[in-house]
Amino acid sequence: MNGKQAASYVVLAIVIVAFAVSIVLKGLLVTVGAFLTLFIFSFLYKDNPYYKFAEHLFVGVSAAYWMCMGFWGTMVPNLFGKLYPPMVGPVMPALKDNAAEPFMLIPLILGILLLLRLSSSVGWISRWALAFIVGTTAGLNLIRYLRSDFIQQINNTTFSLYATGATGFNLGETLSNIAIFVSVMTGLIYFFFSKEHKGAFGVGARTGIIVLMVTFGASFGYTVMARISLLVGRMQFLFGDWLGMMQ
């Protein structure tokens, strides 16, 4: 136990010295960025106090970041600026001459209802706001998905299976078209809830699973690349901007 503790103090000392040296050589900002990067990466080895520090700092800073963005980006211009424009004059002069929009009282009231959640006696009133939110979500999404993901995706799947090119019949394309057709159909069959996956239907459903597995495998394989480029970006920062080892 004591040895372990001693080791951790040694590590801490090294980190502090390295940090100090880096500040002298590279400046504060790059140093902070580099050390926070290393702290996060240390999680790959195991959970440790440095990761905990970075994690807790991240939570605090980012929560405040989004609150400020929400306040200056939404609350001031879209609520107060619309409810009573002169009020935001001192901070956003461009808005002060706009016409007031009394309907903005609705979100104001709903927002306040939501805050009543803090009170135990009238807390249930916050449900009215929740009901509004969920109703909006349901109403908006119903048509959106119907239009773009149902109708339009079906529309995109209607084509001639028999393909011709400049030189007449095109076997490759025809086979691809048939494959798309069969794959979409069997994929849909897999999602059927009210029919047992037996007999011919079962064959369809099993083919559907295969299609889904190819899709997942392909997406996964495709993604490996994307994920690595993010790491490349970080490494460029560490080895280039910080350590200066890259051209």
Here's the x/- map for another protein, 4-23, by CB under 8 A: it reads as --------------------
Q: Is 24 in the site for another protein (CB under 8 A)?
A: no
Binding mask 137-166 for another protein (x = CB under 8 A): xxxxxxxxxxxxxxxxxxxxxxxxxxxx--
Residues 181-200 interacting with another protein (rule: CB under 8 A): 181-197
Cα 121 from Cα 220, distance rounded (Å): 50
For another protein, which residue of 9, 65, 119, 203 counts as binding (CB under 8 A)?
Answer: 65
Binding mask 68-107 for another protein (x = CB under 8 A): xxxxxxxx--xx----------xxxxxx-------xx-xx
List the interface residues with another protein, window 110-139 (CB under 8 A): 110-112, 114-115, 117-118, 124, 126-139
CA atoms of 109 and 107, how far apart (whole Å): 5
CA angle 177, 180, 182 (to 5 degrees): 105
**How many residues are recorded in the chain?**
247
Report DSSP state, residue 122.
Answer: S
List of residues 6+ apart from 79 with CB closer than 8 A: 104, 107, 108
x/- track of binding to another protein for residues 224-243 (CB under 8 A): xxxxxxxxxxxxxx-xx---
Minimal distance, residue 233 CB to another protein, in Å: 3
- Chosen residue from 17, 20, 52, 86 binding another protein by CB under 8 A: 52
Distances (CA, A) of 201 to 113, 181, 189, 204, 213: 51, 16, 7, 5, 18
- Site size toward another protein (CB under 8 A) is 154
Cross-strand partners of 169: 164
